[in-house]
């Protein structure tokens, strides 16, 4: 009985070394993709102040988490990895960027994204809560014991 419980917990909770490698590779790719996405949002809206640009990217990153949702082994040499991000919805990010974009460059260091989030929620403009969103599906194939992104 104890053996059966231990065996089933290993099946459910354990993952193969291939799955672990795939998770790590997909996480690194997804984090890079998310960073580029947030940087692009800031580039498009906050050109007037490098400080606001940096503050926005830090605010979003500090309130976001990228994770692997699922690893599907298609065969011994093919796999897909679904990645999600828990972050603010796009609509909320656009709202807060729109507000920050109107801040005069000379006053940009006084702008606080956390306080702006609170005011947006208080005014009922947005919920301002993080939600899980799909970030991408990465396809890999195995070549000479290495997993390579397709």
pLDDT tens digits, 13-31: 446 799 999 999 999 999 9
Is residue 12 assigned to a domain?
no
Whether 45 and 98 have beta carbons less than 8 Å apart is answered as yes
Q: What is the model's pTM?
A: 0.84
Is residue 51 assigned to a domain?
yes
Domain range for 141 is 17-149
CA distance 44 to 133: 22
Is residue 6 assigned to a domain?
no
Domain count, the chain: 1
Average pLDDT, the chain: 88
Looking at the predicted structure, is the pLDDT value of residue 1 above 60?
no
């Amino acid at each position: 009985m104890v053996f059966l419980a231990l065996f089933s917990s290993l099946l459910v909770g354990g993952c193969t070394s291939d799955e672990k490698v795939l998770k790590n590779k997909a996480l690194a790719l997804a984090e890079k993709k998310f960073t580029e996405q947030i940087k692009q949002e800031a580039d498009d809206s906050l050109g007037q102040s490098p400080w606001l640009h940096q503050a926005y990217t830090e605010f979003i990153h500090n309130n976001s988490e990228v994770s692997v949702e699922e690893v599907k082994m298609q065969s011994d040499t093919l796999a897909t990895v679904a990645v999600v991000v828990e972050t603010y919805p796009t609509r909320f990010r656009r709202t807060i960027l729109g507000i920050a974009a109107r801040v005069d460059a000379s006053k940009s260091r006084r702008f606080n994204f956390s306080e702006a989030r609170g005011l947006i929620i208080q005014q009922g403009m947005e919920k301002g809560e993080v939600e899980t969103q799909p970030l991408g599906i990465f396809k890999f194939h195995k070549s000479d014991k290495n997993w390579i992104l397709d």
